[in-house]
Amino acid sequence: MRGVISLRTAEPGDVPQILRFIRALGVYEHLESEVVATEAALHATLFGERRYAEVLLADCDGQAAGFALYFHNYSTFLARPGIYLEDLFVDPAFRQHGVGKALLQQLARQTVARECGRLEWSALKWNALAIDFYLRLGAVALDDWRGYRLSGAALQRLAE
């Protein structure tokens, strides 16, 4: 049975819940040891003087059900901003209730309203449930692209 879903933009008082979702996502993705985020760091980067990302929160029947964390990127080919969805997580108790779709629909609305050229995200190759969900929504896999990352010691070495 689908419950009543409500969406809202996160506020500073939501940081503890955001961190709980991030930790739960880390467990789901088998990456919990990489989650080093703290409430203080989230306050600073989400609600501080310079805001690096935004968060949409979903409630289902008044209970915290999921979140989407996103930020702007830029397409040189389009000469327009885009939105990159860093994380989408729905609590297992609320999956198959339309929460994920509601979050992505709202993010799509924001993408269009902000005159962005595209909405993008990544998915782990093993996460077939998420991939199937995204494909059902009309997303296209970017199989010709491979993601790269610099972090930790490698990032420090390059920065020297």
> What domain range includes position 105?
5-159
Give the integer Cα–Cα distance in Å for 82 and 119.
6
pLDDT above 80 (res 20): yes
pLDDT of 1: 54
State pTM to two decimals. 0.93
State the catalytic residues.
134
Mean pLDDT of the chain: 95
pLDDT of 100: 95
Q: What is the pLDDT of residues 63-77, one digit of tens each?
A: 999 999 999 999 999
pLDDT above 80 (res 122): yes
Q: What is the pLDDT of residues 75-105, one digit of tens each?
A: 999 999 999 999 999 999 999 999 999 999 9
pLDDT of 86: 97
Amino acid at 100: G
Give the integer Cα–Cα distance in Å for 119 and 108.
7
Domains of the chain: total: 1
CATH assignment of the domain containing 117: 3.40.630.30
Give the integer Cα–Cα distance in Å for 76 and 58.
32
